[in-house]
Copies of this chain bind each other. A is one copy, B any other.
Amino acid sequence: MGVIRKTKAVEVLLNEFSTGSVAISAKALIEQLGEMFNKTTIYRVLDKLEDDGVLHSFLGKDGLKWYAKCNGCTSKEHKDVHPHFQCLQCGKVDCLPVHVSLPEIPNRKIEISQLLIQGKCEACFV
């Protein structure tokens, strides 16, 4: 079940994702907001916001969990699927609003897919 009450933690976390398509790791949010809220609260709010279709999550290069804002998703349908890009130099992760055509795989039913591209971001690419 998703968010039911608009608490301080919900408000502050939502605000963190208010700008753009940059992803934030749960770890970074705890480092940043861990004095204001308990890490358990942060994990639980993120989880619920994902349930609501407000955020989506994925795993970065070290298996860390990252979150970013969803576009046009609801609690019933998560339709905002796209690859992610992680900069190997500065660590920044963002959503790539492009379509990826998956390869043909006979005799298998594809349900989900995750593509993580790594390299140098705009800022770090000379």
How many copies the complex holds: the figure is 2
Instruction: Count residues on chain A whose CB falls below 8 Å from chain B CBs.
Output: 33
Secondary structure of the A contact surface, majority rule: loop
**Chain B residues whose C-beta falls within 8 Å of the C-beta of A36 in the assembled complex:** none
Contact present for B122 and A111 (CB under 8 Å): no
Identify 6 new A-B residue pairs, CB closer than 8 A, beyond the known A85-B105, A96-B103, A107-B125: A59-B59, A63-B65, A98-B105, A100-B103, A107-B122, A112-B117
Instruction: Output the least CB separation between A65 and chain B (Å).
Output: 8
A123 to B113 CA separation, bound complex (whole angstroms)? 19
A117 to B59 CA separation, bound complex (whole angstroms)? 14
Given contacts A98-B105, A105-B98, contact A118 B125 (CB under 8 A): no
Interface residues of A in 84-118 (CB under 8 A from B): 85, 88, 96, 98-105, 107-118
